């Protein structure tokens, strides 16, 4: 292209942009879209006397309360957190407002209680942390009406991967353990009285099992309902009869999810409802607070559809539609007597207005508009569209076109949703409206793998990340808009968060010529490191991730995930890229962003990078959010030519400067390297007395030796006045070798399994060790002679052998887990510290004399030695079912193999 022609093209483009800009609505301040709302998240108190809501307090979204009849000016704050409150609710008797909060986005939520009538001595009433456990994530299972001072919660304090069930007293904070979750239960279902009745478990092949919980809180061993990994099923709420339970299921030949009533005692299943239009999955249900009857169902098609289930609810909806004709209706909660109902009316161009509906008086009163500053008349309509994928599949999507300009040759932003097992919906979307106001068309595709459109559409996305159909659906959306004349093919961007961030990175690596700009918000760059670092409490879903994404524990799965990881193809990127990350993100670790930034930097390709040190998987803080949007707006304006608001408030400019990272300063540690390894922290409280029996065979220099009657016992003892565990391995040499007894007795502290005392015996010989701080005092005895010795410890050590294996059963093991540690080797001539690395390299089905087990494969590698051990730990109990160890050369080489033959208490 010659220089004159290039200049003419640029001038023509500039003229087109100026013409379009002149026809667009006024430029709206970005704070209107992304600043904190004036009021949000309101809830009626159970008795209807009060209204709570979220509103800024000291510039942070906190909970406020006012009398229902009081003006909003009379409201008072209930919380004063320095991080926005993500969710709250009233206790059933209205005595407390309960809310959840984490630290810096780590998602380890605590439950707090506030008494609205307490004296606000410091501006707000005091808040009590009901789950004051660091590093523990609380979940709420039930808020029963009949025990208003108690709720049922889950805590993963014993095992980070699994939640035990507690009854929590709101007044005292006391917790009563109901069920210790030793059966890998992912979810619990209570009846309306708060009694745990059902458990939901994911099996090793990804299937879902529903099990009954007896009156004694013991699990029935036989599931009452199952569905495969390619199906969905599960309880949502117990019927008021206390016998049947509402289920959502698409088991069998059903494609769309239906609502059924299921009787766990008989297995009888009765259809309640499926989509009357046969288009989408069951959406949800509303129940009467007063009678617990089903009163409303809804489905999310292109727009939401409501179906009243009682004559009274039908009359209410007819009345509300007559009073509030413009917009979608959302019945968002009622008082315990059903008299007062909170109703929200929203549209694609309007974030919503909240009303109070009095069912007895038949009145509708406006309470507030969440964002009154939004100029509805300047917002852009959202339209539901369908476009064909390359293989003929129809892809549902939403298209938002900038208002006031002809939809021709526009700059476009493709905005894939996160999840990916989620979907976009009709309604007000702050990103879409902001981008449309800047002159961009916005496409929000519900690509394959999105939920709500049936299991066939969902399963069509399995293992189709990046190079497959899920990404092709986005590419085909771009081509559709180009073919319609809507998109300027030279000005298409892709932007998204979480999975949408991954799709952004995949877009610029696997289709590098398609996009002119890209914004990755908390998106993974390497699917293998993503799967290796998922939070422990997602353990139940690991096998589902493997089925839907790819299994990194198999050679084929790992190769597929490597081929779909944008990081491995960063050399293909030719698109300007902005990467945005929260430092405390527990889902997509900062390493995912760091490594793609480093890959581009190291090939001298420019990349922009933001990291907020006090955020997690998305930005909740207003200043962080506003700074992010300033950066995105400037970035898109530079590369796509859209409109841009000049400048920002000084505090936002300062925040943007603070979270902007120079790529030259970014480093990435090896994800399996020592800098990224977990610190061993055993939980001795989780260990119970037990006895295990093994077969042990030694193969040394071509000879096979089988030990006689190997056992391992774990008992509770006291050692020098402190609680301890005695872990004892016993066996005997075969008669041909003298039948000498072999006994290894280890005493460890009950709490953290710190080694205290050890005695190893073989026939008349023994080694006795006493551990004390930074040294070990020992005695070696043989043939009536004793030799004392002392070994200094210049590294912290942990117990090894049988005590180590018991300790491993208490760790949050999953594939990718890695740790380093040191132990003390007491063998004569080898006495001293040995260092190891531990890594969980995969999962494997193992058959031993005791049965067939699904296990984690744990590799213990000894530094500077070929003495290595492979352990196979049962995924349910953590106990070792098989151990294969290589012997050092000085012991003749060979292997020792032990296999579990039985286990009891």
Catalytic-role residue among 617, 744, 839, 898:
617
- Could you tell me if 113 and 142 are in contact, meaning their C-beta atoms sit under 8 angstroms apart? no
CA atoms within 13 A on the CB side of 22: 6
The structure tokens 């998204």 sit at: 496
Q: What values do phi and psi take at 169, rounded to 5?
A: -85, 120
Share of the chain above pLDDT 70, in %: 93
Q: Write down the pLDDT at residue 12.
A: 42
Residue 430 to residue 380: CA distance in whole angstroms:
11
Least confident range of 203-207, 712-716, 892-896: 892-896
- Per residue in 328-384, pLDDT (tens digit) is 999 989 999 999 999 999 999 999 999 999 999 999 999 999 999 999 999 999 999
Secondary structure (DSSP) of 515-577? -SEEEEES--S-HHHHHHT--GGGGGGHHHHHHHT--TTSHHHHHHHHHT-GGGGGGG--S-E
Residue 294 to residue 191: CA distance in whole angstroms:
15
- Per residue in 768-815, pLDDT (tens digit) is 989 887 788 888 887 677 878 787 776 788 888 888 999 898 888 888
Q: Write down the pLDDT at residue 5.
A: 33
- Per residue in 290-309, pLDDT (tens digit) is 999 999 999 999 999 999 99
Identify whether 558 is preceded by a cis peptide bond (ω within 30 of 0).
no
Q: Write down the pLDDT at residue 829.
A: 56
Q: Write down the pLDDT at residue 535.
A: 84
Share of the chain above pLDDT 90, in %: 71
Beta bridge partners of 392: none
Q: Write down the pLDDT at residue 671.
A: 41
Q: Write down the pLDDT at residue 841.
A: 81
Token pair of 462 as six digits: 């399995």
The band of 863, judged by pLDDT with boundaries at 50, 70 and 90, is: low
Specify burial of residue 764 (Cβ count, 10 A radius: 0-12, 13-18, 19+).
Answer: exposed
Q: Report if pTM > 0.95.
A: no
Q: What is the mean pLDDT of residues 879-904?
A: 78
Least confident range of 61-65, 163-167, 627-631, 669-673: 669-673
Least confident range of 192-206, 531-545, 829-843: 829-843
Token pair of 858 as six digits: 């744990």
Q: What is the mean pLDDT of residues 43-66?
A: 96
- Estimate to the nearest angstrom the gap between the alpha carbon of 392 and the chain centroid: 33
Residue 194 to residue 771: CA distance in whole angstroms:
48
pLDDT score of 635 more than 70: yes
The band of 3, judged by pLDDT with boundaries at 50, 70 and 90, is: very low
- Per residue in 562-585, pLDDT (tens digit) is 999 999 999 999 999 999 999 999
Order of strands across the sheet that contains 50-57:
40-44, 50-57, 60-67, 76-77
Residue 407 to residue 687: CA distance in whole angstroms:
66
Q: What is the mean pLDDT of residues 748-773?
A: 86
Does the annotation count 525 as an active-site position? no
Token pair of 797 as six digits: 């050590």
Which of 431, 576, 587, 688 has the alpha carbon at shortest distance from 105? 587
Does the annotation count 110 as an active-site position? no
CA atoms within 13 A on the CB side of 30: 23
Three-class SS state of 294: strand
Residue 804 to residue 825: CA distance in whole angstroms:
13
The H or E element spanning position 463 is none
pLDDT score of 439 more than 90: yes
Secondary structure (DSSP) of 660-678? B--GGG-----TTSGGGPB
- Per residue in 818-835, pLDDT (tens digit) is 888 888 888 765 677 777
pLDDT score of 492 more than 90: yes
Between 888 and 524, the higher pLDDT residue: 524
Q: Write down the pLDDT at residue 794.
A: 65
Catalytic-role residue among 91, 444, 498, 525:
498
543-575 burial, b if ≥16 CB within 10 A, otherwise e?
bbbbbbbbbbbeeebbebbbbbbbbbbbeebeb
The band of 22, judged by pLDDT with boundaries at 50, 70 and 90, is: low
Q: Write down the pLDDT at residue 266.
A: 96
CB within 8 A of 316, min separation 6: which ones? 308, 341, 357, 359
- Per-residue CA distances from 324 to 132, 371, 473, 799 (Å): 45, 18, 38, 70
Residue 234 to residue 886: CA distance in whole angstroms:
46
Least confident range of 145-159, 663-677, 879-893: 663-677
pLDDT score of 866 more than 80: no
Q: Write down the pLDDT at residue 709.
A: 85
Three-class SS state of 616: strand
Does the annotation count 617 as an active-site position? yes
Mean of per-residue pLDDT scores for the chain:
90
pLDDT score of 197 more than 60: yes
pLDDT score of 9 more than 90: no
Q: Write down the pLDDT at residue 116.
A: 93
- Per residue in 277-291, pLDDT (tens digit) is 999 999 999 999 999
- Per residue in 221-235, pLDDT (tens digit) is 999 999 999 999 999
């Amino acid at each position: 292209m010659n220089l004159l022609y290039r200049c003419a093209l640029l001038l023509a483009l500039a003229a087109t942009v100026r013409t379009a800009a002149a026809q667009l609505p006024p430029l709206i301040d970005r704070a209107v879209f992304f600043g904190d709302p004036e009021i949000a998240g309101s809830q009626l108190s159970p008795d209807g006397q009060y209204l709570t809501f979220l509103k800024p307090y000291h510039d942070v979204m906190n909970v406020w309360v006012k009398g229902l009849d009081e003006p909003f000016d009379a409201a008072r704050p209930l919380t004063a957190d320095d991080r926005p409150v993500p969710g709250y609710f009233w206790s059933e008797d209205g005595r407390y407002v309960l809310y959840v909060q984490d630290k810096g986005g780590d998602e380890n939520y605590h439950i707090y209680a506030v008494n609205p009538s307490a004296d606000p001595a410091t501006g707000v009433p005091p808040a009590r942390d009901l789950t004051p456990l660091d590093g523990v994530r609380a979940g709420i299972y039930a808020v029963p009406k009949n025990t208003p001072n108690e709720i049922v919660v889950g805590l993963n304090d014993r095992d980070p991967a699994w939640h035990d069930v507690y009854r929590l007293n709101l007044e005292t904070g006391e917790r009563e353990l109901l069920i210790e979750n030793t059966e890998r239960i992912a979810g619990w279902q209570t009846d309306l009285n708060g009694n745990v009745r059902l458990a939901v478990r994911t099996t090793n092949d990804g299937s879902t099992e529903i099990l009954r919980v007896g009156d004694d809180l013991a699990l029935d061993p036989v599931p009452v309902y199952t569905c495969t990994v390619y199906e969905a099923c599960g309880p949502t709420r117990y019927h008021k009869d206390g016998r049947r339970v509402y289920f959502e299921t698409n088991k069998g030949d059903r494609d769309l999810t239906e609502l059924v009533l299921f009787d766990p005692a008989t297995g009888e299943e009765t259809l309640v409802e499926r989509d009357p239009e046969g288009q989408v999955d069951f959406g949800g249900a509303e129940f009467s607070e007063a009678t617990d009857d089903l009163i409303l169902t809804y489905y999310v098609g292109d727009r939401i559809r409501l179906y009243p289930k009682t004559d009274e609810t039908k009359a209410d909806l007819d009345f509300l539609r007559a009073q509030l004709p413009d917009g979608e209706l959302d019945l968002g909660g009622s008082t315990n007597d059903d008299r007062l109902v909170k109703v929200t009316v929203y549209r694609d161009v309007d974030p919503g207005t909240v009303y109070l509906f009095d069912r007895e008086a038949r009145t509708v009163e406006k309470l507030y508009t969440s964002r009154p500053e939004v100029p509805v008349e300047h917002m852009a309509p959202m339209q539901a569209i369908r476009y064909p994928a390359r293989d003929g599949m129809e892809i549902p999507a939403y298209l938002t076109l900038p208002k006031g300009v002809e939809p021709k040759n526009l700059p476009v932003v493709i905005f894939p949703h996160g999840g990916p097992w989620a979907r976009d919906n009709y309604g007000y979307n702050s990103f879409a409206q902001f981008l449309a106001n800047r002159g961009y068309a916005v496409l929000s595709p519900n690509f394959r793998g999105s939920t709500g459109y049936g299991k066939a559409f969902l399963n069509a996305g399995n293992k189709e990340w990046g190079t497959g159909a899920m990404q092709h659906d986005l590419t085909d959306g771009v081509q559709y808009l180009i073919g319609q004349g809507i998109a300027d093919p030279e000005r298409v961007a892709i932007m998204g968060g979480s999975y949408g961030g991954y799709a952004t990175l995949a877009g610029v690596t696997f289709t590098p010529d398609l996009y002119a700009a890209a914004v990755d918000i908390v998106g993974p760059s390497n699917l293998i490191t993503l799967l290796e670092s998922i939070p422990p409490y997602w353990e139940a879903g690991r096998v589902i991730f493997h089925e839907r994404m790819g299994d990194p524990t198999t050679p084929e799965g790992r190769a597929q995930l490597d081929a779909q990881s944008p990081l491995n193809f960063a050399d293909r990127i030719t698109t300007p890229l902005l990467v945005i990350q929260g430092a405390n993100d527990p889902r997509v670790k900062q390493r995912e962003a760091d490594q793609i930034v480093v890959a581009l930097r190291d090939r001298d390709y420019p990349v922009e990078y933001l990291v907020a040190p006090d955020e997690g998987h998305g930005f909740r803080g207003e200043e962080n959010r506003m700074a992010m949007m300033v950066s995105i707006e400037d970035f898109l304006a530079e590369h796509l030519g859209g409109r841009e608001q000049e400048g920002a408030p000084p505090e936002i400019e300062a925040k943007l400067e603070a979270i902007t990272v120079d790529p030259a300063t970014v480093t990435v540690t090896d994800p399996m390297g020592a800098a990224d390894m977990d610190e061993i922290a055993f939980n001795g409280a989780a260990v119970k007395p037990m006895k295990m029996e093994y077969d042990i065979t030694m193969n040394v220099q071509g000879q096979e030796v089988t030990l006689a009657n190997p056992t391992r016992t774990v008992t509770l003892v006291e050692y020098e006045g402190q609680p301890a565990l005695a872990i004892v391995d016993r066996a005997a040499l075969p008669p041909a070798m003298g039948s000498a007894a072999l006994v290894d007795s280890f005493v460890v502290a009950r709490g953290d399994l710190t080694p205290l005392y050890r005695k190893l015996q073989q026939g008349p010989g023994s080694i006795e060790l006493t551990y004390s701080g930074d040294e070990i005092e020992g005695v070696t005895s043989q043939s009536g002679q004793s030799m004392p010795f002392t070994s200094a410890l210049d590294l912290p050590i942990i117990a090894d052998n049988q005590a180590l294996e018991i300790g491993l059963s208490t760790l949050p093991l999953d594939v990718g887990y890695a740790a380093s540690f040191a132990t003390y080797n007491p063998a004569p001539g080898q006495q001293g510290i040995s260092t190891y690395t531990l890594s969980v390299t995969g999962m494997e089905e193992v058959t031993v004399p005791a049965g067939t087990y699904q296990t984690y494969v744990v590799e213990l590698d000894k530094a500077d030695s070929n003495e290595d051990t492979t352990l196979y730990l049962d995924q349910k109990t953590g106990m070792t079912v098989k151990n294969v160890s290589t012997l050092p050369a000085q012991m003749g080489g060979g292997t020792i193999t032990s296999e579990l033959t039985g286990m009891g208490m």
